[in-house]
Each structure stands twice: as C-alpha cells, then as structure tokens.
Structure 1
Amino acid sequence: MKIFASLLLPVFFLISCQNTPKEDSVQANSSFEEYLSFENRDDQYTGGIKMIPINTDNGTFKVWTKRVGNNPTKKVLLLHGGPGMTHELYECFDGYFPQEGIEYIYYDQLGSYYSDQPADLSLWNTERFVEEVEQVRKALGLDNSNFYLLGQSWGGILAMEYALKYQDNLKGLVISNMMSSIPEYNTYAQTVLGPQMDPEIYKEIKAMEEAEDFGNPRYGELLFEHYYTEHVLRRPTDQWPEAVMRTLKHANNQVYVHMQGYSEFGITGDATLKDWDVKERLKEIRVPTLVIGARYDTMDPDHMEWMSKEVQNGRYLYCPNGSHLSQYDDQKNYFDGVIRFVHDVDQGSF
C-alpha cells in the first residue's frame, strides 16, 4: 500500500452516455470503413502515431501523438492533466467517439511519458506549452474548419490559454473539470472540500502539509482513502481503470511538482501555477465553448457554470454523478454532452 499510495500523490491535479442519432454521427464520412481506413495517410506505417518536433528556446524535442479515425470536420485534440500525466487518461474515449464518427488525437505533452522528457525546469511554463500546442496543431493540419480542443484539469488551463491567444484556429473548445482561477480553486479546496472530511483526518493531513512531510506514506494513504475516492474518481480502489493506474505510474513528478506543487489542497509554495487566473478574460473567448463541471469534483461546479456564461458562446455540462475524472465515473452524462456539443457545432446548431 505504501508504494501504491506514493504513485497516487500527483493524481489530484490531473488531472455522462446516450448516443446522438446515428444519422448525425457519420454525416462527414461516406462510410464507417472510411473512418477506420489509413489508406493514403502519411501515418499509415505507424498506425496513426506521429512524433512531432517542437522548437523551443532551449532546443528541439519531440512529442507523441496518435490519431484515431478520419473525419474532415470533427477532429478533437485531447490535452491531458497533470501537468506531467499522459494521454492514457482518455483511453475511455475509444468506447464512445469511433461509433460517432468523431476523429480524436491522443497527445503526450513535452515532459510526459511517451514524449521527450528533458530535465529543464525552464520549459515547464504555460506560455511555452501554448506554443507547443500551436506547433502540434500545424503539424496535424488542424484549423478552424475542424479543430476542437478538449482539455481537462491542467489541460483545461492550457486550453483556456491557447484559446485566449489562438482562438481563430479553433472550431470548438471544451474546458473539462477546471476552474478559471487558481486562487479561487485554493479557497474551494481549503474551505469547502477539506472541511467535509473527518475532522481528525483533515487535521492530520494539514499537519503533514504544514511540516512539508509530503513523502510520508501516511499522507498518500489518507488522501487516497478519504479524498481521491470521493473527489478524483468515485470508485473503490480495486475498480480504478487500468488506464488511470498506468497514467499514475508514468507521471513525471518533476513537471508536476514544479508547476502544481506537493499539496493536494490547493497550489501553494513556489509552484508556478499558484497565481494563475484568467477569470476576467473569459469574456474574450468567442469560439463555441463547452464547460464541464461535476458534483463531486475537486473543482467548484458552480464556478464552472459561471464560466460557461462568461464566455461569449458557451454551454454548461453538469455531471451529477461525477468527480474530477467524470469521463470515468459519470460516463453517461459526460460523453452524451461532449458528443452532442461536437455534432451541434459541426452542424451550425450550437
């Protein structure tokens, strides 16, 4: 359990489904076989995988991407959480997007397991990650006729920042399980979620945080038993999906700690994201936007509903059974809402 729990420390900041009518699902494809075909694609040899070069001030590195399906007007690039997690958090999308004819692209950000992992702290900042996403977009041939960007948790921060700079390249934006203000997230975690725990357990956790005793196995054990299974993924530990456990195993703690920090009740200390806040700029986002919140999330669902009204063209999706990984613990509501959003934007009915 001690080893198991130590792998789970980064999980907090990672980081549902009635199908839409089938006549909507494949309208841009002549057949389902065409959706599945790799014929005449430059990534046929690798089964959809591309290692994309990313230019930075400190050199050129490669990031891993994998395309699934073919749809000229519906292509969803998935931004994983963390920072420093992996695309594996989204493997459940395999169960929902293909039958809807939606193309989607798995992507490990620089520093994540399947991409290059340079040991250079100067690379781990939001501005550079935004430019990385833009280079990935260009390499994959995505544009405002087809490009949907879906980001969850840290990926939601990255998606918001990308939209604020490059929204002219987007067709649709999905902000999943992420507030627009870290200070307000900190307040929610410390004044709402923490006090919901058993007072003695919460006191013990806070004492270890104040002592910066984050390596104590007891810290991970308490969080997993009393916090993660309530607010990150609402399943007993032996029912956590293998893909999620694989993500935790592959996490890059250097990236995670530098940007998010050690604490699971907010971002504190010297973590670079601790003052991040774009709530006053949401009104600048005019691209069709879906904001996803969940009842048991680590993020305040009321704040995310507010976000959907701040953007110029927004919709709110509420997952009443979900937590931070609501693509797993409230799949019915999560995927119904996301799929409907993509179809509605594509048909001009959003």
Structure 2
Amino acid sequence: MQVNVNGIDTRYVLSNEGGGPWLTFIHQLGGDLSIWDQLAGYFRNNFTVLRYDIRGHGESAAPTAPFTVADLSNDLAALLDALGAKSTHVVGMSLGGAIAQQFALDHASRVDTLTLADTFARTAPESRSIWDQRIETARRDGVASLAPASLERWLTPDFQHAHPEVVEQIRDVYIHTSVEGFALACAALREFDLRDRLVEIRTPTLAVAGRHDTGTPPAATQAIADAIRGARFEVLDAAHLAPIEQSQRFAALLETFLQSRV
C-alpha cells in the first residue's frame, strides 16, 4: 500500500489479523520493511502490525532536500494519522532505533512501549567523518560499493554461512537503495544527538544489542538503557542486525516485554 506522508509517497504493509494493539517496526539504513517479514508474521495474530519504508528507502520516494531524524519521526506520526492509529508499540533497529527514540520524545503520548535494537543516542564529533565518507562513497561509487563492508558488520560469519538466502535478500535491498535517500539519511545520522534528552523518556523501554556488533557496540545501546529510567537491557549472540540474526530469541524477549505492558 502507498500513502502520501509529508509530501513523500510512502509504502507500508499493515497486518491486523488479530486486530490487537498497534505494533510498528522501523528498519535500518539501507533496508526496507521486508527485514521484518518473519517477526511481523510472529506477532500479527495478536497485534496490528505496521511496517513501512523510511523515506528514500525501499519503495518510498526519495526526497531531494536534506532531512533530520526529527523529520523521520514526524513521518511516522503522519503515517499513523493517515491510518487512524492513536498510539503504537514501537520497535526500531539501527537508524530505526534513532527514529524510535526521537518519536518517543516528540510524540510521547503515542508510544505505548519502546524497543530499541543495535542503536545509539548520538554521533560523537570524532565519528562524523565516518558518515561523510559513506556519503561521498555512495554518491561517487553507488550504494552497492558499501554493501560488502556493511554486511560484514551486520551479520556474523556463522549466520552468513548458515543462511545465505537471508543475506542475499538483505544485500539486494541494500544495493537498490536510492543513492540520495541513503546519503541524506547518513547526513541525518551524522547530526543526530539525543544523549542529553534521554532522561525525558518515560515510556517503558527494552534495549537490545548484538554482542558482536562492531559498528554500534553494545555499550552504545546500553548507554541508552542506562539513561532511561526503568529500561531493560539485553545482549544477544549476534552482530548489528540482532533481531534478525537471533529472531527467535528477540521475538521471545519482545513478546514477554509486550505482554507485561498490554
């Protein structure tokens, strides 16, 4: 399905077989809503599950002007408005986790629970050059040129060997991501900093990290949990895409967390 959200044609998939509370999944940089296929299937009998493509990703239109993570948060608010959802449980991974944090601050009354996976609260000054390099490389050589290094960070060698079909799907989505959508999202993450505002979040929060995540070390996700009162922190035996690599364990953690709050 497609709907215009803040001037951006946005693809979404809604699964509401159970007609239960809303549960929204937000994907990573260079991804799309398909990353959540398995988890959406797991939860759709008890929740109204929403997945969507972030602007400039998947089948959502690519913007031509710079945007911020706050803009991406407002995209989610507008999408929920268009679909008639007053509030939702929110699950965000990587870039999706940044959006989820921003959404919990900017639209607090609309967040029932917050689940953050393999994400961070700020880009340190010394790390800004990494995003500049990715922007330059994507625009010069294409997004596909960044895929090998990204997949190496995202998934452990054991998982890649055992599940080549999953790796291939993730790679295919990544290499077909809009260059400008990717570059502008990198620029948004380069400027992202909510470190001093995390104490404002009062939403029940679950934070999950991959033990082998080198791009976003577990300590970065734990720092978020430490700053949010009452937040729970868990580590899975995975790399950056922990909810995908350890999908059964993540689903069990999320299910228990949601059951305690529904």
The residue number in structure 1 matching 2:205 is 289
Moved over 6 A (4+): none
CA distance in 2, matches of 1:272, 1:110: 12
Give the whole-Å Cα distance in 1 for the aligned partners of 2:53 and 2:99.
13
After TM superposition, the structure 1 = structure 2 runs for residues 20-39 of structure 1, keeping only pairs within 5 Å, are none
Q: Pick one of 72, 79, 82 that aligns with 2:26.
A: 79
TM-score by length of 1: 0.64
Task: Please give the residue correspondences for 1:77-226 in structure 2 after superposition, counting only pairs within 5 Å.
Answer: 77-82=24-29, 85-98=31-44, 101-118=46-63, 120-122=64-66, 124-144=67-87, 147-183=88-124, 186=127, 220=145, 224=148
What is the CA-CA distance between 1:340 and the residue it aligns to?
1.3
Q: Aligned with 2:99: secondary structure?
A: helix
Number of residue-to-residue matches in the alignment: 252
- Provide, for residues 296-320 of structure 1, a one-character-per-residue CA deviation record: whole Å limited to 9, x for no partner: 112121232232131123111221x
Query: Greater relative contact order (Cα 8 A, min sep 6): structure 1 or 2?
Result: 1
Deviation at 1:335, TM superposition (A): 1.3
CA–CA distance in structure 2, aligned partners of residues 130 and 276 of structure 1 = 12
Instruction: Calculate the TM-score normalised by the size of structure 2.
Output: 0.83
1:233–1:240 CA contact under 8 A, matched in 2: no
Show CA shifts across 1:220-255 (max 9, x none): 59x837x733x3112336715143133214312212
Tell me if the contact between 2:33 and 2:58 (Cα under 8 Å) persists in the aligned partners. no
Taking only the aligned residue pairs, the percentage that are identical comes to 17
Amino acid across the alignment from 1:337: L
Query: Which sections of structure 2, spanning at least 5 residues, go unmatched?
Result: none
SS at match of 1:182: coil
Q: CA deviation at 1:216?
A: 7.0
Q: Aligned Cα RMSD in Å?
A: 3.0
State the match for 2:164 in structure 1.
Answer: 239
Question: Match of 1:267?
Answer: none
**Residue 67 (structure 1) shift:** 0.8
CA positional deviation for 1:327 = 2.1
Pairwise CA distance, 1:184: 7.8
Runs of 5+ in structure 1 lacking a partner? 1-48, 191-208, 261-270
Instruction: Give the C-alpha shift of residue 78 in structure 1.
Output: 1.4
2-structure distance, mates of 1:94, 1:71: 12
More helix by share: 2
* Residue 52 of structure 1: aligned partner: 3
Larger radius of gyration: 1
CA contact (8 A) 2:22 2:89 kept: yes
